[in-house]
Structure 1
Amino acid sequence: MDVKENGNADRRAGQSNWGAHAHAPVLRGAGTHHAAALENGYRDYDEYLVERVLKIRRLLDSGVPTRIIRDMLPCLNDIGSTIVADPDPELRAMLVEQRDKLAERIVLLQQNRDALTRYIDAMDRVLCGA
């Protein structure tokens, strides 16, 4: 796959040209990597695919490995209809571990947000002469 094919999707998803190119194997593996080919060699990606790349990027940014993302792609769109035909206990354990790591990161992010808010509030008090 040529990087230029993904440039349009990258821009729409707010990523570098490498973004969709790097995620292409995950998208292809899930049967979601379809785009209309244009005469100039570029591809036109549906908003659905752009949103999919954003969701994958967020999962990667959260530390979820691509091998897990590939398996959970069906869950990204419709939370209520997720069906697991052949549950793998090892995969489940990995997912629980990833979820718990995310929960820990969320707590730390909330603490950092609160600390920033306190600092901004303190600055505002000085700036406003309070």
Structure 2
Amino acid sequence: MRMGEFSRRTGVSQRLLRYYEEQGLLAPSRLPSGYREYSESDVATVRGIRMLLAAGLGTATIAELLPCLADDGNSLAPACSGMLPDLNRERERLDAAVADLLAAREALDDIIAATESTGVADEDACAAIGDAGRSRHD
């Protein structure tokens, strides 16, 4: 199937499909005209890529792991030995990122609680700070 139909079937934009190809995640065949031709197995490959991206893995890691995974239609299953260290490394990286996010949320909660308990002493000063912060992000 050609790219337009493949994009509709997978729900992935054509731009993103080209990116996957650039990253070595997807390798459609080429017609003599130069058009990409995708197979049914490419649908499963894109499903696997999307699952691994949703799990927080980067495209470089996915490129390493994808050949060692089989798609059973609902999930990915290991298809070769030796990938456990890579998966554990990625899990540790995700655990660290989650810990960092939880610490940031806790710090924000502390600031919110301190602001609520002390009240706002100078509404004009707080409004000026808020306006300055918004102008930096505009």
Name the TM-score, length of structure 1 as normaliser: 0.52
In the TM superposition, residue 37 of structure 1 has moved relative to its aligned partner by 1.1
User: Quick one: distance in 1 between partners of 2:48 and 2:79?
Assistant: 18
Contact 1:60–1:66, Cα closer than 8 Å, also in 2:
yes
CA 1:80 to 1:14, structure 2 compared with 1: closer, same or farther past 3 Å?
closer
Q: Which amino acid aligns with 1:96?
A: R
* Residue number in structure 2 paired with 1:33: 27
User: Quick one: distance in 1 between partners of 2:35 and 2:59?
Assistant: 26
CA 1:37 to 1:70, structure 2 compared with 1: closer, same or farther past 3 Å?
same
The structure with the largest alpha-carbon Rg is 2
Q: Mind listing any 5+ residue stretches in structure 1 that lack a counterpart? A: 102-130
Which structure dedicates a bigger proportion of its chain to helix?
1
Identity, in percent, stands at 30
**Residue 97, structure 1, aligned to residue 92, structure 2:** yes
In the TM superposition, residue 13 of structure 1 has moved relative to its aligned partner by 0.9
Counterpart selection for 2:81 from 70, 80, 83: 83
Contact 1:35–1:43, Cα closer than 8 Å, also in 2:
yes
Which structure ranks higher in relative contact order (CA pairs < 8 Å, sequence separation ≥ 6)? 1
* Residue number in structure 1 paired with 2:118: none
In the TM superposition, residue 100 of structure 1 has moved relative to its aligned partner by 4.9
Name the TM-score, length of structure 2 as normaliser: 0.49
Counterpart selection for 1:15 from 9, 12, 15: 12
Which structure dedicates a bigger proportion of its chain to strand?
2
User: Quick one: distance in 1 between partners of 2:5 and 2:21?
Assistant: 14
Q: Which amino acid aligns with 1:15?
A: V
Aligned with 1:33: secondary structure?
coil
* Residue number in structure 1 paired with 2:60: 67
* Residue number in structure 1 paired with 2:106: none
RMSD: 3.4
In the TM superposition, residue 10 of structure 1 has moved relative to its aligned partner by 1.9
Q: Mind listing any 5+ residue stretches in structure 2 that lack a counterpart? A: 72-76, 97-138
